[in-house]
């Protein structure tokens, strides 16, 4: 994994990073490459400075404006459901810190990511640029409920904030035939579930639904 390119002397996170890698490899035994891709990202640079010391704990952490970066386990879980493949076009709703975005790009997908909070969008953009992770990533400030029609169709759509009732219809329209959509759905503080659907002959086939907790799609 990429952590081997740094030494304990210049990487204060090495130990916690390796411990997280080990536990994720145990939890996702079939997905070694995916785990390595995630661990190769410097998560400490995606969270607030005050939370850096917890960057490699398997937990969600605050980013600015009351938003949060998902727990590494959840990032992997959702990415895995998305069936990532090099070259596929993926629409992500809720750029946030850009961490999930960076992972999708690491997997060589072409990522189109929308963020509704302008300062978060700007920060994500400069962060990904500074870390040299921007290649294959297209960011835009805007309302993800409308999708990104000019760039559609997308073979994959990943929503990282939960609409209260249903996945916005524009997103369904922008999913390619045979495509996969992963989204949390449900009210804040109420029952939310993560849904996985496939578009087959223009219709949506629900593959899976499990209970989760996400920030709201606004
Ligand atoms: N995937 C992110 C975490 C996302 S948190 C990461 O890895 O850091 C959910 C994000 O969705 C927040 O940044 C929030 O501002 C954004 N969001 C909420 N409603 C949105 C909407 N309608 N359109 C686009 N982004 C939205």
Residue-wise pLDDT for 118-134, tens only, equals 999 999 999 999 999 99
Question: How far is the CA of 88 from the CAs of 48, 114, 116, 133, 150, in angstroms?
Answer: 31, 17, 24, 17, 16
The pLDDT, as a whole number, for residue 5 is 56
What's the whole-model pTM score?
A: 0.94
Q: Ligand 1: does its nearest atom lie under 6 Å from the Cβ of 111?
A: no
**Where does the pLDDT of residue 215 fall: very low under 50, low under 70, confident under 90, or very high at 90 and above?**
confident
The pLDDT, as a whole number, for residue 4 is 53
Percent of the chain whose pLDDT exceeds 90: 87
Minimal-distance CA residue to ligand 1 atom 11: 94
Using CA atoms, how far apart are residues 117 and 114, in angstroms rounded to an integer?
9
Say how far residue 48 (Cα) sits from the centre of its chain. Answer: 17
CATH architecture designation of domain 14-212: 3-Layer(aba) Sandwich (3.40)
* Angle, helix 99-106 to helix 32-39, in steps of 10 degrees: 130
Number of C-beta neighbours around residue 165 at 10 A: 9
What is the mean pLDDT of the segment spanning 161-168? 95
Domain edges within the chain: 14-212
Atom of ligand 1 nearest to the CA of 92: 1
Using CA atoms, how far apart are residues 161 and 130, in angstroms rounded to an integer?
25
Query: Which residues carry out catalysis?
Result: 70
Q: Measure 186 CA to ligand 1 centroid, in angstroms.
A: 15
Over 80: is that where the pLDDT of 10 sits? no
Over 70: is that where the pLDDT of 33 sits? yes
Q: Measure 161 CA to ligand 1 centroid, in angstroms.
A: 5
Over 70: is that where the pLDDT of 9 sits? no
Using CA atoms, how far apart are residues 159 and 7, in angstroms rounded to an integer?
36
Atom of ligand 1 nearest to the CA of 69: 8
CB 1 within 8 A of CB 40: yes
Minimal-distance CA residue to ligand 1 atom 4: 96
The pLDDT, as a whole number, for residue 7 is 57
Number of C-beta neighbours around residue 119 at 10 A: 11
């Amino acid at each position: 994994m990429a952590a081997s390119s740094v030494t304990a002397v210049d990487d204060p996170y090495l130990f916690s990073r390796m411990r997280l890698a080990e536990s994720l490899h145990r939890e996702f035994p079939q997905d070694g490459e995916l785990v390595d891709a995630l661990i190769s990202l410097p998560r400490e640079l995606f969270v607030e400075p005050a939370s850096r010391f917890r960057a490699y704990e398997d937990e969600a952490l605050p980013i600015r404006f009351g938003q949060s970066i998902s727990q590494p386990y959840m990032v992997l879980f959702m990415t895995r459901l998305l069936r990532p493949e090099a070259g596929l076009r993926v629409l992500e709703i809720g750029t946030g810190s850009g961490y999930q975005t960076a992972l999708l790009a690491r997997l060589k997908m072409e990522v189109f990511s929308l963020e509704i909070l302008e300062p978060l969008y700007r920060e994500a953009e400069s962060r990904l640029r500074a870390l040299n992770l921007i290649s294959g990533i297209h960011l835009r400030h805007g309302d993800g409920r409308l999708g990104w029609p000019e760039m559609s169709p997308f073979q994959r759509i990943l929503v990282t904030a939960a609409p209260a009732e249903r996945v916005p219809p524009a997103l369904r329209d922008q999913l390619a035939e045979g495509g996969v959509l992963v989204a949390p759905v449900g009210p804040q503080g109420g029952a939310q579930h993560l849904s996985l659907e496939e578009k087959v002959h223009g219709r949506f086939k629900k593959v899976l639904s499990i209970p989760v907790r996400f920030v709201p799609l606004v």
